Every structure is written in structure tokens, then in C-alpha cells.
Amino acid sequence: MTKIPAPTREDWEHLATNLTFTNQAFINGEYVDALSGATFACESPIDGRILTQVASCDAADADLAVKAARNAFESGIWRDLPPAKRKQILLKFADLIAKNRDELALLETLDMGKPIRFSSSVDIGGTARAISWTAEAIDKVYGEIAPTPTNQMGLITREAVGVVAAIVPWNFPLLMASWKFAPALAMGNSVILKPSEKSPLTALRVAGLAKEAGIPDGVFNVLPGFGTTVGKALALHMDVDTLAFTGSTAVAKQLMIYAGESNMKRVWLEAGGKSPNIVFADAPNLEKAAEATAQGIAFNMGQVCTAGTRLLVEASIKDKFVTLVKAALVKWQPNHPLDPNTLNGAIVDKQQLSKVLGYIEKGQQEGASLLAGGEQAFQESGGYYVQPTVFTDAKNTMQIASEEIFGPVLSVLTFDSMEDAIKQANDTIYGLAAAVWTADLNKAHKTAKALRAGSVWINNYDGGDMTAPFGGFKQSGKGRDKSLHAFDKYTEIKATWLSFE
């Protein structure tokens, strides 16, 4: 069999010239304009050009979508399907996403600026895997029977919670969305997906694929628009039962307030992070650890909630290890996202670029030493690029080491003992992820146990798959995406007690 060559940059650019952009909201099985007729410009961070004008939904559109979702839920058209039947439809949905991988990957890259190689493999490939894994699991989630006297029976069952609003971020637009809508749909709920205004295009496109797969009208809706309008309206809506969110800690806190001000809806939050990457002197492979450190800060242009933004390295190897990290970052220099060899693309928009550059300036003002990067790149392109940046001599009291930057900026701190490393690692309001590099099994387990983080990786960074839950401690949020634990967010648990004569 002849092997088909991988697409080149020219191939992707040619495909882009023939690409059409789905730019309307999707409500009750139909693509529609916002009721107000308002739109917003969807800009590509690759070169600053406007891709399309997207419907800008508001409270009126939210109300329309919630009514459609509620009607679909109450009708039982989806909720009452046997789990095996919902599984078949969701598997078809995943298959359609996989079949349209190139189109969806290109939309993700043009819209958000990430390298096409990762849009295809990580984002779109991961989305299809997330939906299919979740679908395969749904008819294997059992209820329980309580231990009762012989003349009684206690049934413990899971039921769909109702209408779920999912507000998702711009950094992994479709992948993060699938972590929420897949289990919500699998459990029989109706879903309203609110993508970020910075990267709405793939969510809008897959809405049509959901219908093609057989998901009934009203069960899966997509509302593009701004968080301050349609996002707020969904959070305050009296007929939304559950709100699932990924984004900043500040917005997460506000959504909890909205839930309390409305119907006390369940709120599940995956918020910010400032993850420590701890490298002990006895790490089994310092070169591997350095490569992972570079990837941990530069992947997705540092726009990752679990990015290893704080490198805690044992003082005795600090100079040697930082030199290895600096060398490893060479291949992570920004380049055109449609080049298949590119690892580091564009920052999502001008606002985020300004934020990142502002933190780099602040780091120098605070007294940290700029070791590498720190400059904007490819300004002639009209796009938004920045070099991976490394600061040494950082402290947790500095803003660059304590605040979530969401850009490729690494703060290097040192420690002298396991206890010191743990103390510094936990000295943060966040608790999303952490990594430990050591050949000492006891030290690895003791450190991992002591770290206040939802995910701890030992001798790797960003490990795991759909079988492992994802979420954080402290102000990194509550609830878990992925794994069987994700189903807990989208169900009510009912106890039914029977007595026999």
C-alpha cells in the first residue's frame, strides 16, 4: 500500500483558502443568527486577519436555548434512550469528528494559533477519543443496592441532572469542551455549550456533526458570544441545573456568586494553576527532565492551566539543569502554525500577548534574572508571537512566580531539601498539578503525598489519559473531568426504598 505523504504547509494553506466558517449559533437543531443580529469579529492570531463575523448571543438567545434544552429533556427523547443507544450515537459523533479531522484541526489553528500538528493529534484526535471513551463507559456505570432487611430493598440510582451549561476556555477549544459535553450527554442531559469568543469556530462546526450523528434537536446547543453577556445569562438562568466551567479563578468565583443569586445550580469549576515542577539532584535522567520542563512551559505557547510555570530545582544542580532547559527550549521557538514542523505557534490574541509581555517586564522589575527569551517575535507577520522566557533567581513572592500568566514564562526557584521543596511548591493559592523528578521511590511517594494538587506526575510531565480524573485542589476548582468520576457532575443520586408485605 502506498503511504500518503503528510500535508505540507502549502497543503494546509491551500485547504485554508477553500475553508468555510460556520458562524451562527446552534439552537434546537438549527443554525441561527443571534436574535439581536449582533456579531463579533473572529480574528486569527497567526496574522491578525479577520476570519469571519460570528453571531454574538445575549440573554435572549440564552433563554431560547435553555427552553429548547429543557423541552428536549422533559420529552425524554434523549434522556429515556437506553444507555446502549446513546452510546451508539455518541460513537458515531466521535467517528464524524475523526473523519473531519483536517477541517477541524485547521479551524482550531486558524482560530487559536496553535501548531497544526497539535491541533490534529492532541485537540481533534483527543476530542474524538474523549467522546468515544465516554460513550463506551456509559453502559458500564451501575447503580447500587443498599444492605437491607429481607423485607425491604434500597435502590441507589443515577439520574440525569437536566440542563447543563458548559462554559469552556479558548486554549483547547474543542478538547476541553468534549471533557464536559461528552459525559453530560452520555448521562442523558441536554447541553448548552458556550465557547470562548476568542476561539468559537470548532464548537460551532461540531454542532452540525452532533445532529448528523443523531443527537436530537434541543439536546446539544452552541451559543457563541461574550462571557459578560451570554455566559452571565446562562450562569444566572433559573432553568439551568448545572454549570460546568474551565477558565480563570476570578471568573470561577463570580460564577459561584451567580449560582447563589439564582437557583443554587450545581457549579463545577476547573480554574487556574501555577504548577510546581520539582527536580531533585537524583533525578534518573536530567536530560529527559529538561526536555519535559521545556515542553511543560512552551507547549501550546504556555497557554495551559497545568503548565509547569514554576521550576523548583535542587540548588546543587541548578546551574547545570537550567543550562539543559535553555538548550531544550531552542526547538520551541515560535514559527508559523501551519508548518507541520512547528512546535510553538501564536498567542491567542493581542490582549493576551500584551499580558504576557507585561509579566516579562514585571519580572525584570521585581529583580528576577532574565536568562532566555523575553521578546516578541514575528511582528512583521501581523500576528502575536513571543519567545519562550526563563527567569532565574525567582521567589514565590514575585508576581511572575505567584500569578497565572498563561504564556511561555518559566520562573526558576531553588531548594535544599525535600521539606523545603514541598513547602515552596505548596506556597500558592492554586493546586491543579505538580511533577516530581527523583530516582528515590520513597522520596517520590512522600513528596507526591504532601503536594496539594489534583494531579502529580512522577518522572514525567502531563501524564495520564481518559482513565485518570482531572481537576484541582484549593482555588484551582472543584469536581473532576475525565474518567468515570466525570459522570458524578452530571447526575443526581436517588435513593428509592421499597418495603414488602
Q: Which residues are catalytic?
A: 270, 305
Residues near 128 by beta carbon (within 8 Å), at least 6 away in sequence? 94, 95, 97, 98, 101
Q: Which of 382, 341, 375 is nearest to 115 (CA)?
A: 341
Instruction: For residue 150, count CB atoms less than 10 angstroms from its CB and return exposed for 0-12, middle for 13-18, buried for 19 or more.
Output: exposed
Cell, residue 10: 502549502
Cell, residue 433: 498539578
Q: Please name the residue ranges forming H helices in 366-467.
A: 399-402, 418-426, 441-450
DSSP string across 458-497 = ESSSS---TTS-B--EETTEES-BSTGGGGGGGEEEEEEE
Q: Report the C-alpha dihedral over residues 348, 354, 360, 362, rounded to 10 degrees.
A: -140
Q: Three-class SS of residue 165?
A: strand
Q: Three-class SS of residue 27?
A: strand
The Cβ of residue 378 has, within 10 Å, a number of other Cβ atoms equal to 16
Sign of the C-alpha dihedral computed for residues 22, 26, 31 and 34 taken in this order: negative
Cα-based angle 484, 487, 492 (whole degrees, multiple of 5): 140
Q: How far apart (Å, rounded) are the C-alpha atoms in residues 474 and 428?
A: 9
465 φ/ψ angles, rounded to the nearest 5 degrees: -150, -160
Q: How far apart (Å, rounded) are the C-alpha atoms in residues 177 and 97?
A: 13
Q: How far apart (Å, rounded) are the C-alpha atoms in residues 500 and 1?
A: 67
Q: How far apart (Å, rounded) are the C-alpha atoms in residues 147 and 32?
A: 52
Asked whether 94 and 446 are in contact (CB, 8 A), the reply is no
Cα-based angle 493, 494, 498 (whole degrees, multiple of 5): 150
